[in-house]
Amino acid sequence: MTDDSKKAGVKKPDPAADQILASRRNFLGKAALGTGAALASTTLAAPAVIAQTGPIKWRLQTYSGAPLGAHVIKPQIDAFNAAANGEMVIELYYADQLVPTSDLFRALQSGTLDAVQSDEATMASPVDIAVFGGYFPFATRYSLDVPALFRYYGLKEIWEEAYAEVPNVTWLSTGAWDPLHIFTVNKPIKSLADMNGLRVFGVPTAGKFLSKYGLVPVTIPWDNVEVALQTGELDGVAWCGFTEAYEVGWADVCNYALANSVTGAWFGSYFANSESWKKVPPHLKELFLITIDQSHYYRDVWYWGGEAKLRVEGQKMELTSLPPAEWAQVVNDSKGFWDEVASSSPRAGKVVAAFKKYAETMEKAGYPYR
C-alpha cells in the first residue's frame, strides 16, 4: 500500500471486495425488479376489502445505516411487502432517521415505531439480559452458535420470559450477524498496550470489556462515523467484521485490522410493539416471521463467506495480531467478565450458564464444531 493510499478518504482498490459487492448489487437489483413487478400486479389483484380499508402500515427502524441495511434488512422488508399482497406495508427507516438509535426502545414501547431491528445493548433495552445483545465476549465462535443457543440451550425461553415483564414490547426473534474486529486509521494494534487511548466507535458490551485495556468507546450517530475517522475524532471502529467494514466504506479510511476477534457473532433481534403486533392477522404474522428467518439465513451466508474471503484476499487493510501470550490473557480475562455479569441477576446467571454448557459441549464434540 502506497503512502498516498493511506490517506483517509482515498478509496482503495480491492478485487476481492469488488467481487463481493458486485454480487450483492446484482442480487438486490433483481430483487428490486421482482418486488416492483409483484407490487404492481398485487395492486390490481388486491381484494375489494383492502381497497376500502387500506393496508396495515408499520414503521420499522433498524440500528444500521442504509449501506449496511441493504443486507441486514432491506431484502426481508421488500420480500414481505411483495408477499403481503397489499394487506400490509412496512416502511423501513435506517439508523437515526426517525429517532436516535439510543431511543429505539422507548419509541417502540410508545408506538412511535411498530417494530425495531437492533441488539438490546445498543437500543438501551431495560431488561436484565440486555448485556447479551450485541457482542458478548467469547460467547460465540461461529454464526450458527446463535440459533443453536436459542433452540437447544434455553435462550429462546429466557428472552420470552424477560420481555414478558416489559409493557408493550414483544421480542420476536434473534439471529447472528458478523464477528467483532477492531479497525484503526493510523495506529496498528500489535499489543494490548497499543489499545490504550484509542477512541473507537463501538457497541456497548464489547466496548465495556475492551476498555479494560484502555480502549475508549465513543458513541456518535452511525452516519457520522466515516467523517469522524477522516477528521481524527475517531481512531477506529470496534463495531463489526470485515464484510461490514468493506461494505460501508470504513475499510477505505482504516488502514489496519486486528485479526483477533473477541466474539464470533453479534446477537441481533427483531421486536414489535405489542399493540401493533396484536392487530396483525395470523397469516401475516407468520409471513413476517418467515421473512425474518430468511433474513437470518441471508446474513449467515453473506457474513460467513465474506469474512473469510476478505480476510484472505482483501487488500485495503493490513492485518495485525496480538502476541499469543497477550491473547491468552484476554481470553482468561473474559472469564471474570462472565462471572461479573452472571452475578448481576438470576436470569443473567442462566444465560451465562447456558454459554458455559454450550462451550463445553462444542469442545467435547470437536471438529467441525470446535
Mean pLDDT of 213-230: 94
Percent of the chain with pLDDT over 70: 86
* pLDDT recorded at residue 203: 81
Mean pLDDT of 24-31: 46
Is 0.75 surpassed by the pTM of this model? yes
The cell numbers describing 210, all together, are 475492551
The cell numbers describing 204, all together, are 456497548
- In CATH terms, are 17-177+265-311 and 181-263+316-365 the same topology? yes
Residue with the larger pLDDT of the pair 121 and 90? 90
Q: Phi and psi (nearest 5°) for 147?
A: -65, -30
* pLDDT recorded at residue 2: 47
Q: How far is CA 207 from CA 50, 168, 225, 366, in A?
A: 48, 29, 16, 30
pLDDT in tens, 227-271: 999 999 999 999 999 999 999 999 999 999 999 999 999 999 999
- Cell match 402500515: residue? 57
Residues, the chain, total? 370
Say how far apart CA 242 and CA 303 lie, in whole Å: 9
Q: Residue ranges of the domains in the chain?
A: 17-177+265-311, 181-263+316-365
**Which residue in 361, 347, 293 sits closest to 131, CA to CA?**
347
pLDDT for 1 beyond 80: no
* pLDDT recorded at residue 15: 65
pLDDT for 357 beyond 80: yes
Mean pLDDT of 53-82: 95
pLDDT band at 14, cuts 50/70/90? Answer: confident
Q: Which CATH architecture has domain 181-263+316-365?
A: 3-Layer(aba) Sandwich (3.40)
**Which residue in 82, 69, 66 sits closest to 31, CA to CA?**
82
Whole-number average pLDDT of the chain: 89
Distance, first Cα to last Cα, the chain:
35
pLDDT for 102 beyond 80: yes
Lowest mean pLDDT among 72-76, 111-115, 153-157, 205-209: 205-209
Residue 313, C-beta contacts closer than 8 angstroms, at least 6 positions apart: 15, 16
- Cell match 474471503: residue? 309
* pLDDT recorded at residue 347: 97
* pLDDT recorded at residue 319: 98
pLDDT in tens, 143-153: 999 999 999 99
User: What is the third-level CATH fold of 17-177+265-311?
Assistant: D-Maltodextrin-Binding Protein; domain 2 (3.40.190)
Mean pLDDT of 86-106: 96
Percent of the chain with pLDDT over 90: 82
